[in-house]
Amino acid sequence: MNEMKKTAISLNVNNETHDIVSNPNKTLLEVLRDDLHLTGTKESCGEGVCGSCTVLIDGAPVRSCLTLAVAAQGKEITTIEGLRAGEKLHPVQEAFVNHHAIQCGFCSPGMILTAYALLKENPTPTEAEIRRAISGNICRCTGYAKIVEAIKSLAEEGR
Amino acid sequence: MRLPPFQFLEPTDVEEALSMINTRKETVKIMAGGTDLLNRMRLRLIEPAFVMNISKLRDIDGIDVGETETVIGANTRLKDIARSPLLNKRFRAIGEAAFLVASPTITNMATMGGNLLQNTRCIYYDQSGMVLNGLERCHKRGGTLCLAVKGGKRCFSVYQGDMAPALIAFDARCVLEKKGSTRTVAVTELFTGNGATPFAIGADELLTKIIIPQPKGMFSSAYRKLRLRGSVDYPLASAAAFVSVTKDKEVNACRVVIGAAGASPKVMDGPSNEANWEGMAQKAYEYMEAVDNLQMDGAYRRKMVSVLTKRAIKAAMDRLKEGM
C-alpha cells in the first residue's frame, strides 16, 4: 500500500472558503458530499460518463468525480446549492420546475448547472446547441424533451 | 469506488515538473485533465505512489497558429482546440476530432496531451478488480495469454484516442522534454504498436508541445468517427483524411489515418481521386484489427472503418471544392 499524507485543502465553494484536512486521493465529489455536506451534487456512474456529479469550476461544467479536491484549490467552485438567491430559486431551476423537466431529480443538479453555464455563455442557444451542451448529462426518467423545452424557454427569453 | 492512496505533487513550471519526474520515474503518473488517469486508478489498473498535477502549468497551455507551423501546448483543453477558429479553418480534422471527444463537459477538462497519451483499452482489461480477479492474467496484466484472441501471442488492446489520427494526418510532431534534454519526434513514433506497452516514452519524459507543420498549397481534411451514442463514447472506429491539390486542382496527396484499429493509429498514404476511394477503403479494411474486444463486434467495426474512410475523404474533397 502506497504512503499517503493528509493535507490541508482550501476550497472556494459558492463564494465561501472551506478549509479541511483530507487525503489527496479524495475527489471533489467526495469532499463536497462527505466533508462539506453539500449533497446536491450526486454520484452515479463514478467514471465521468453520466454527468450527475457536474459542478462548475471557474464557470465551466466539469465532472467532480474525476476532479481531485486538492487540485481544485484556487478555483471558484459552484454547486447546485450556490445557484439560488436565498429562498428564491434561480430562473433555470424555475424553468425546470415549470416545464416538468424533473422526475426522479437525480440528474437535475448536473443538468441545471450545465444549462446555467450554457446560457451564461450563450443566452440564445439553438435547440441543437442545447442538445449538444447537455449531451454529457444522462437522464433515465423524463427523456430529454422536457429538459430541452425548459432550457429553450430561457433561450427565448434571452432573445 | 475510492481512489487508491498516493502522494500529490503540483509543480509550478515545466522545469520543476521535469525535476519531479526525474527523481521519481515509474512511480509517478502525470495528471492533466485527469479524465483518463483517475478512472484507471479507480479500477486499480494502476496504483502510482505519486500523482503529479500539471494542469496549472500555463507555459504549456495554448494554441499558436504560425505561418510555417502551429504549436499546441500539451495542456491545452480540447474545448479550446474545438473552438479555435484559426485552427479549425486550417486543420479542420483536428478541430473536428476535438469536438467529437467524449462530451462537452469532458472536453472542458481533458487536454491534448492527455488525449494523445491515453492508454489502450479492451473489455477484458478495463474492468474492476472484482471482474479481473475472475479472469486469467492477460498480456496487458503481465500474463502470457490474450482473452480477446484465443491463442493470441500479443496484446490486442485498442488505442481509442481521437486526436492522434487527426494529428498524424497532418504529419504532426511532438516535443518530449526531460531534465537536461529535449527531443522532437513524429506523433507516429509515440506508439510501439504493442497494446501491452503502447507508448515509446521514457518514464522521465514529459510531453510538452505538439507541432503541426503548415502543408503546402491547397489542402483540406476531415475526421469521422463511429460510436454507440452521439456523445460520451470513445471511437470504435475512426478515420482522419488529409487531401491536397496542385495549382491545376489535381489531387497530389491523400493520407488517411484510421483509429481504434489496433494498438496504434494506422497510416495509409496514396494518391487519390474519386476513382480510388474504394482502394483506400479496402486498405483500411485490411489494416483494421477486427477483434471482438470493444463495445461493438470487430467485423462491424472493420466494415465501418472503410465506410468512414470514404466519408472522411469525401468530406475533405468537398471542402476543397468549396474553397476553390
Please write the tens of the pLDDT for every residue from B258-306: 999 999 999 998 776 665 788 999 999 999 999 999 999 999 999 999 9
> Residue A142: what pLDDT?
76
Q: pTM score, two decimals?
A: 0.96
Nearest-angstrom CA–CA distance, A158 and A152: 10
Nearest-angstrom CA–CA distance, A109 and A29: 13
As a whole-number percent, the residues of chain B with pLDDT over 70 amount to: 98
Q: Residue A24: which of B6, B39, B47 has the nearest Cβ?
A: B6
In the sheet that B218-226 helps form, which strands lie side by side, from edge to edge? B218-226, B237-245, B251-259, B266-270
**Does the distance separating the beta carbons of B35 and A63 come in below 8 Å?**
yes
> Residue B273: what pLDDT?
61
**Does the distance separating the beta carbons of B35 and A71 come in below 8 Å?**
no
Please write the tens of the pLDDT for every residue from B44-56: 999 999 999 999 9
Nearest-angstrom CA–CA distance, A117 and B198: 37
Residue B168: which pLDDT band, with cuts at 50, 70 and 90?
Answer: very high
As a whole-number percent, the residues of chain B with pLDDT over 90 amount to: 91
Beta-bridge partners for B225: B238
- The three grid cell numbers given for residue B279, joined into one nine-digit string: 482502394
Beta-bridge partners for B224: B239
Please write the tens of the pLDDT for every residue from A33-78: 999 999 999 999 999 999 999 999 999 999 999 999 999 999 999 9
> Residue B83: what pLDDT?
96
Chain A residues in contact with B35 by the CB 8 A cut-off are 48, 63, 66
User: Looking at the predicted structure, is the pLDDT value of residue B256 above 90?
Assistant: yes
Chain B residues in contact with A114 by the CB 8 A cut-off are 105
Are B316 and B222 in contact by the 8 Å Cβ rule? The answer is: yes
Average pLDDT value for residue range B57-75 = 96
Chain A residues in contact with B232 by the CB 8 A cut-off are 49, 135-136, 138
Helix axes A91-98, A108-121, angle to 10 degrees: 120
As a whole-number percent, the residues of chain A with pLDDT over 90 amount to: 91
Q: Residue B38: which of A66, A135, A138 has the nearest Cβ?
A: A66
Average pLDDT value for residue range B197-201 = 98
Please write the tens of the pLDDT for every residue from B182-192: 999 999 999 99
**Does the distance separating the beta carbons of A3 and B5 come in below 8 Å?**
yes
> Residue B249: what pLDDT?
85
> Residue A157: what pLDDT?
77
Average pLDDT value for residue range A144-151 = 96
Residue B250: which pLDDT band, with cuts at 50, 70 and 90?
Answer: confident
Average pLDDT value for residue range A96-121 = 97
Chain B residues in contact with A2 by the CB 8 A cut-off are 4-7, 47-49
Q: Which residues of A touch B (CB under 8 A)?
A: 1-5, 7, 23-27, 30, 46-49, 51, 54, 60-63, 66-68, 70-71, 74, 114, 132-133, 135-138
Please write the tens of the pLDDT for every residue from B84-95: 999 999 999 999
> Residue B275: what pLDDT?
56
Three-class SS of residue A26?
A: coil
ipTM above 0.90?
A: yes
> Residue B272: what pLDDT?
63
> Residue B155: what pLDDT?
97
Are B114 and B36 in contact by the 8 Å Cβ rule? The answer is: yes
Average pLDDT value for residue range B224-238 = 95
User: Looking at the predicted structure, is the pLDDT value of residue B37 above 60?
Assistant: yes
Residue B324: which pLDDT band, with cuts at 50, 70 and 90?
Answer: low
Q: Least CA distance to A24: which residue of chain B?
A: B8
> Residue A2: what pLDDT?
87
Mean of pLDDT over chain A? 95
